[in-house]
Amino acid sequence: MKKSIVLLFIVLCVGILSAETSTGGTAWENGILKWTSEDGNFQTRLDVRMYLDYAHFLNSENDFRNGTMLRRGRFAVKTKLWEVWNAEYDMDIADNSVEVKDMWFSYNGFKNGFIKVGHFKVPFSLNELTSSRLLTFMERGYPNVFPPGRRSALGLTKWGNIWHFSTAVYGQELAEKEQTRIDESIGFAGRFALSPKIGENLLFHLGVGGVYQTPDNDSKSIEYKIEPEAKMGDSEILVADISDVETIILYGLEGAMKFNNFCLQGEYIQSNLARLNDLDDVTFSGFYTFLSWIITGEERPYYVDEGEFGQVIPKSKKGALELAVRYSHLDLTDEDALIFGGMANNIVIGLNWYANPNLRLMLNYNIVDNSDNANMGGTLVGNDDFNVFQMRAVVNF
């Protein structure tokens, strides 16, 4: 039934876009097909993504799955309505299931600002907010276990020449809300970033963020779990279950420097969990840093209205080539609180070939260093240090 609804939705969208083309204009801009009305007050574009992955685990004492998978199968429609209104509907059909991603509308009638309502990513963490089609590596770094991600929210965004500010009040994920009868929890998030530019070639990004929220369920529990930056199979090695949680506070620091075709980026995130019943509070943390070099000379643009980096566009028909290396760390162990979720370090070496704005081939080699407690809650062999070879073909339009 769900698949039939998805197919019907796609057919309707194609029909609407075809009708719009007959009265407006069609443009192909940096790999994005857009339909725009003659007066510019209306615009529609698709955002279709197919990520085809292969992964192979090497030298592991545990039995992880090697093979292929459809990492993402996304279909989105993004629309401008009556000049000052925007809307987006985005769903994922990977893993033989349909999942709503972005579903929101916004009012953009302010100068350098907008108000957004719906289901979207709350403003916290540069790496989390960066679209998956723009990521330098196949998967986000270890600290990505902490951000709230997409929630039902009300958000406000403003920006100036070198600054960006976003804030939101939010509830649960749509899936969570549909599956429970308890009252919805409430959270608050905020992010501020400065992006001064020195000369024509040097740009800095300095950002801070914070989150305050309560647990999403009446059991007052929270679970953090994450894979070794490789999504293949059931490999969520780092797992921490914390009960009797009263509040969750996240702190985030962001930093980046772009010099011509070089980019250095990093983040630190700390999670503080206040607990009930005289239990010890829990503190977790993680960070990553990476260096990217676009060998063929292209630069990654920066957009202050988003407070994020943009898409690499090849200069020639031969495409663009990028070499990158990342180090990340995550600690989900707090001995004072008797929580032993494990600790891990990861080095990822990545090679990207941007064949054109719509096709990218990615190679990642992960070197994983796990602690004794990095054992999926006791169900795997701990202290398992292994490597992962990954490949991905990204097609988006």
What value does the mean pLDDT of the chain take? 91
Q: Which two tokens stand for residue 9?
A: 């939705």
Q: In the numeric block, which tokens belong to residue 217? A: 């369920």
Q: Inform me whether the pLDDT recorded for 12 exceeds 50.
A: no
Instruction: Report percent pLDDT > 90 for the chain.
Output: 79
Please answer whether residues 182 and 108 qualify as being in contact, where contact means their C-beta atoms are separated by less than 8 angstroms: no
The whole domain housing 381 covers 2-396
Residues 253 and 225 sit within 8 Å (Cβ to Cβ): no
Distances (CA, A) of 83 to 43, 78, 87, 109, 384: 9, 13, 12, 8, 55
pLDDT in tens, 191-220: 999 999 999 999 999 999 999 999 877 778
Domain count, the chain: 1
Question: Which CATH number fits the domain that encloses residue 218?
Answer: 2.40.160.10
**Per-residue pLDDT at 396 exceeds 80:** yes
Taking only the tens place, the pLDDT of each residue in 72-100 is 999 999 999 999 999 999 999 877 778 88
Please state, in angstroms and rounded to a whole number, the distance separating the CA atoms of residues 16 and 280: 57
Give CA–CA dist 378/341, Å, rounded.
9
Neighbouring residues of 167: CB distance < 8 A, sequence distance ≥ 6:
123, 155, 156, 188, 189, 190, 191
Alpha carbons within 13 angstroms on the beta-carbon side of residue 181 total 0
Confidence (pLDDT) at 245? 95
Contact criterion met (CB below 8 Å) for 207 and 194: yes
